[in-house]
Chains A and B, each alone.
Chain A
């Protein structure tokens, strides 16, 4: 257990610059996402400054997470409770969504069901236009990133301000969030100071985080009190009282849902949970998995617009329930549990692939293991390559607070992709040969003999890592693995099998 304080990277990274505008969003576009992923991942994993930053962040997280888990009597029992709560919810999704809808409607709220991103955006844009909205304040919502809501609002002349500090920073940089919990994790304070000096017109700003936060607060307070509409996400949709639950630390979610005249909550249909009491387990587990905190500072519950006799609050309350491919996952009894995800980010923080390539290289809104599992379902076969963005080590599964069997789902997605005929022809042939060889000891033995002889000759000629080398992918950046003189079977017969 490494409980020591992580060392903050000393360098000001020059290479962690923003990607080109839109470069890391998940529009398929003309570039093949698989090729782009390989290229971006290679660049990022060779970027030492980037790695220092991510290591610092992940070590800080690991210490806090470890400490947070220690507060539970039995962390695994808490995870199992969360798993069963979500299983119950997802397996009765229609019932609980309807119960939520009825309860919200009874308080005068509106619930809109959107099958696609376009439908969700169209509803919100129409609402904004009907109320002559000019400015929108947003608290963090990954679903609004997924449906590209800001772009839809911008198109009709509505300015949307992200108000979560991390989201605000990446919005000013014109880039997507780097991480679902800490969107500006890839930036150091000097970069944020320079950004604020320029974009907020505060030339005297120092790099003191307190001062930087105060500058953002001043600027965003103006936005909060000018905005006609607030848009939030929801961490949970609680069916029996009919409320959304929002977890925030900064209070931006509070202001977003209190001050403007209209509040719109945009969330995925899978966020539903049956009972209010379920939050007694889910709130502490989400906070611990997200940041290591016992609970987030604000656990807000909202079930409607301002009621008679209440001092303040929005006049209108809308909930947009986004499907966008989620319901398709239900038909697969095994993969259904992918919908249990509570978006805590723990799987990313622990993933060795994420720790090397960072959040932007995935080219998707949801990165890391859960993003690699989910994105092919939400965005189609163009993102099936992400099933291979994993060493299948299972670290993600071991930390998941709702116990999603993430690495097995990645394997499952690979299988489904191959069965659907999406694997490259060359790969299919290779696997066919491999499969035949594995079933025939003679062929296997012959193959091994040819490889040992062939590779020895090739390496002797200095051709390791060249186009002629079948081990090129490995040898191009590494020294070749020494070749054994004999096959394993021969060694077994001679020595090993006799206990020598």
Chain B
């Protein structure tokens, strides 16, 4: 640690330690997490309901062929132009089946360009409690979930975890933040209500967030 270039580091630590020598006010009992939040009963139903409330488009599909069809339908609704896809075997297969007839930039070639019409990625997991998708840098990088006007996520129902606490515990236990410099819990499309509290979708990031959710694995 470059303390030589940072003379205030020791000074601040010393101030903190001096201050903390004054004993703290006694702590109160901390209620359990289950006291604060209702437990999630049916994770799939809850995810679908919360995703809808978050203004996400969530399509439940039966198998890979149905997922590819849904992907093709979504891509046909977008203006012409390049798309960006996370370079993963499952997405390569899906793209081959959907056959989008567009220029494709794979994440192995770098991040998405500003003009990308859509980005297609996997997710680490889905969170039922908040209707969120959890991505890390491995899901195509940082720009993959924010640069294009449409972000399409391909996930399976087995990736749904009931609540935020489970999601974050998994991240810690699986050392996901040791392997990635970035992670993000995304709960809907980009939005703002900075003008007269009126909700506008698509502030700086995607206007649409589409989840193709395939049953089973």
Given the known interface contacts A74-B36, A112-B6, A295-B185, the answer about A94 and B171 at a Cβ–Cβ threshold of 8 Å is no
Inside 8 A of A276's CB, which chain B residues have their CB? 168, 171-172, 177
Stretch in B63-71, B73-81, B94-102, B186-194 touching the partner: B186-194
Tell me whether A311 and B203 are in contact (CB under 8 A): no
Residues of B within 8 A of A8 (CB): 196
B residues 1-41 touching A (CB-CB < 8 Å): 1-2, 6, 8-9, 11-13, 15-20, 22-25, 27-31, 33-38
Assess whether B130 is interfacial by the CB under 8 Å rule. Answer: yes
For the complex, count residues of A whose C-beta is within 8 A of B. Answer: 111
Q: B214 contacts the other chain (Cβ, under 8 Å)?
A: no
B142 at the interface (CB under 8 A from A): yes
* Residues of chain A within 8 A of B1, CB atoms compared: 101-102, 105, 111
**Most-contacted residue by chain B among A78, A187, A220, A277 (CB, 10 A):** A277
Complex contact B169–A255 (CB within 8 A): no
CB distance from A59 to the nearest CB of B (A): 10
Q: Do A259 and B20 touch (CB < 8 A)?
A: no
CB-CB under 8 A from A212, the residues of chain B are 195
**CA of A111 to CA of B3 in the docked complex: distance in angstroms?**
10
Most chain A beta-carbon contacts within 10 A, residue among B22, B31, B200, B204: B204
Chain A residues within an 8 Å CB radius of B107? 311
Contact, CB under 8 Å: A251 / B143:
no
Taking a contact as CB atoms under 8 Å apart, the answer to whether A298 and B186 are in contact is yes
Whether the pair A312, B141 counts as a contact (CB closer than 8 A) is yes
Contact with A along B51-73 (1 / 0, CB 8 A): 00110000000000000000000
Whether A334 contacts B25 by the Cβ 8 Å rule is yes
Interface flag for B216 (CB, 8 Å): no
A348 near B: Cβ within 8 Å?
A: no
Q: Separation in Å of the B159 CB from the closest CB of chain A? A: 18
List residues of chain B with CB within 8 A of the CB of A254: 142, 145-146, 184, 204-205
Q: Are A250 and B187 in contact (CB under 8 A)?
A: no
Instruction: Say whether B144 faces chain A, with CB atoms less than 8 Å apart.
Output: yes
Residue ID in chain A nearest B15 by CB atoms:
A327
How many A-B pairs fall under 8 Å by CB?
292
Q: What are the residues of chain B within 8 A of A60 when measuring CB–CB?
A: 197
Q: Is the CB of B196 within 8 A of A209?
A: yes
Q: Is the CB of A330 within 8 A of B20?
A: yes
Which of B8, B20, B108 is within 8 Å of A91, CB to CB? B20
A163 touches B204 (CB 8 A): yes
Docked-complex contact B195 and A336, CB < 8 angstroms: no
The answer to whether A296 touches B187, judged by C-beta atoms less than 8 angstroms apart, is: yes
- B147 touches A (CB below 8 Å): yes
Residue-wise interface mask of A (333-354) relative to B, using a CB-CB cutoff of 8 A (1 in contact, 0 not):
1101100000000000000000
One of A152-160, A278-286, A421-429, A435-443 contacting the partner: A278-286
Asked if A358 is at the interface (CB within 8 A of a chain B CB), the reply is no
Question: In the complex, which of the residues B27, B137, B182 contacts A87, with contact meaning CB atoms closer than 8 Å?
Answer: B27
A295: B residues at CB distance < 8 A: 130, 132, 164, 185, 187
Taking CB atoms, residues of chain A closer than 8 Å to B167 are 280
- Of all chain B residues, the one with the shortest Cβ separation from A85 is B30
CA distance A297 to B200 in the complex (A): 13
Checking A213, A220, A221, A313 against B141 with a beta-carbon cut-off of 8 angstroms, the contacting residue is: A313
Check A449 for interface membership: any CB of B closer than 8 A. Answer: no
**Residue of A at shortest CB range from B13?**
A94
Q: Is the CB of B165 within 8 A of A301?
A: no
* The one of A93, A105, A209 that contacts B16, using a Cβ cutoff of 8 Å: A93
- Least CB distance from A119 to B in Å reads 6
In the bound complex, how far is the Cα of B27 from the Cα of A337, in angstroms?
A: 11
Known: A213-B195, A250-B191, A294-B187. A310 touches B137 (CB 8 A): yes
Interface centre among B11, B18, B37 (most CB of A within 10 A): B37
Taking a contact as CB atoms under 8 Å apart, the answer to whether B177 and A88 are in contact is: no
Interface string of A58-81 (1 = CB under 8 A from B): 001100000000001111011011
Tell me the chain A residues, 131-189 only, with Cβ under 8 Å from chain B: 163-166, 169, 182-184, 187-189
If A241-B172, A277-B172, A312-B110 touch, whether A323 touches B12 (CB-CB below 8 Å) is yes
* Residue numbers in B under 8 Å from A252 (CB-CB): 203-204
* Interface bits A266-304 vs B (CB < 8 Å: 1, else 0): 000100000111011101100000010011111111111
Give the Cβ gap from B7 to chain A, nearest Cβ, in Å: 9
B117 to chain A minimum Cβ distance, whole angstroms, is 15
Q: A81-B33, A94-B20 are in contact. List 5 more A-B contacts (CB 8 A).
A: A73-B36, A80-B29, A259-B147, A295-B130, A321-B12
Task: Name the 5 nearest CB pairs between A and B, nearest first.
Answer: A251-B205, A330-B19, A311-B141, A312-B111, A250-B203
Residues of A within 8 A of B (CB): 8, 57, 60-61, 72-75, 77-78, 80-81, 83-85, 87-88, 91-94, 97-98, 101-102, 105, 107, 110-116, 119, 163-166, 169, 182-184, 187-189, 192, 209-210, 212-214, 217, 220-221, 224-225, 240-243, 249-252, 254-255, 257-259, 269, 275-277, 279-281, 283-284, 291, 294-307, 310-313, 317, 321, 323, 327-334, 336-337
Q: What are 17 A-B pairs with beta-carbon distances under 8 A?
A: A73-B34, A73-B36, A81-B30, A94-B17, A98-B13, A188-B196, A214-B202, A220-B204, A241-B172, A258-B141, A299-B187, A310-B137, A310-B142, A312-B111, A328-B15, A330-B15, A336-B19
